[in-house]
Each structure stands twice: as structure tokens, then as C-alpha cells.
Structure 1
Amino acid sequence: MEIVRRLGLSPRQRGSLSNATCPDIFELADGDFAVIGTDRTAELRDKLPADAGVADYEKIVVVSRATIVAARADIPNA
């Protein structure tokens, strides 16, 4: 698995001056995306809609709005 590129601005460009708040989004060579965010699985699992679920190997990760907005222009349409 290989990271091809970052989507959006780096955490430092978005104002993070430490490693404490560094959500990030990366495109992988296979076309999937890797996300660094805050694991909120325990808090949100029971609040998911009835038709959604989290497998044992999955996590619910929260990424700041600023991270997604900064990445918007880099997210492919297809």
C-alpha cells in the first residue's frame, strides 16, 4: 500500500503547531483514501442510523470540518 498524495492542506498550513491536532487525508495508490482523525467509535456507534454499522475491523473516525473543506478541491469527481 502506497500513499500517492495528501488531499488539501497540511495540518501545519491549517494552523496546527503541534502533533496534538493533525487530522489528514491521503489518496492511496489503489484509489482508496486513508484518514487520520479522532477515534469516536465508542461514542457514535449506538447513534448510527439503523442501516449503518461498524465491523470489528472498522472505526468511526471524526475529521474536522476545516480538514474536509481544505481537501474539497483535491477530491476526485469519479
Structure 2
Amino acid sequence: MRIVRRIGASPRERGSMTGDTCPDIFELSDGNFAVIGTEATAKLDNLLPADAARADYERIVVVSRETLVRAKTDIPDA
């Protein structure tokens, strides 16, 4: 597996002065997506809807609205 491309604008394009620690979204060679965000599992785990579940190896990650909105045009429809 490898990173194929960034989805959306880079942190610098979204206004990060250093580009070091900002949310990011990447498309992977297997068609999945990798997300860099703020780890929020402990804060949000008990707030998940009844029909949502998280495996022990999964984490809840928060990305800014701007990161996701600016990635929208790069996300394939299928």
C-alpha cells in the first residue's frame, strides 16, 4: 500500500504557516483513504449513535470542516 495523492488542499494552501500539524486526507493505492486528524476517541466514543460501532483497533479522528469541504471536489463519485 502507498499514498497515491492528496485529496483537497494542502495544509499550507488552507493557511497553515508551517504545514506541520494540520489535518490532511490521502487516497491510497488500494482505493481507501487515510486521514490525519486530531485523535478524539475518548471524547466521542460514548456519543456515537446506537447503530455505529468502533473496533478496538479503530480510532475516532476529527478533521476540520474546511479540510473536508475543500477535499470534496477531489473525492471520486465511485
User: Shorter-normalised TM-score: what interval?
Assistant: over 0.9
Cα distance in 1 between the residues matched to 2:37 and 2:3: 17
Measure the CA separation in 2 of the matches of 1:16 and 1:76: 26
Name the counterpart of 2:77.
77
Identical counterparts, % of pairs:
68
Matched, 1:46 2:7: no
| 2: CA distance, partners of 1:60 / 1:17 | 26
Query: If the length of structure 1 is used for normalisation, what is the TM-score?
Result: 0.95
Q: Structure 2: how far apart are the matches of 1:25 and 1:36?
A: 6
Aligned residue pairs total: 77
In structure 2, give the amino acid aligned to 1:47. L
The answer to whether structure 1 residue 58 and structure 2 residue 54 are counterparts is: no
Alignment of 1:1-78 (within 5 A): 1-18=1-18, 19-20=20-21, 22-78=22-78
The one-letter amino acid paired with 2:73 is A
In the alignment, the residues of structure 1 paired with residue 45 and residue 39 of structure 2 have an alpha-carbon distance, to the nearest angstrom, of: 11
* Unaligned stretches of 5+ residues in structure 1: none
TM-score by length of 2: 0.95
The amino acid of 1:55's aligned partner reads: A
Q: Please, which runs of 5 or more residues in structure 2 have no aligned partner?
A: none
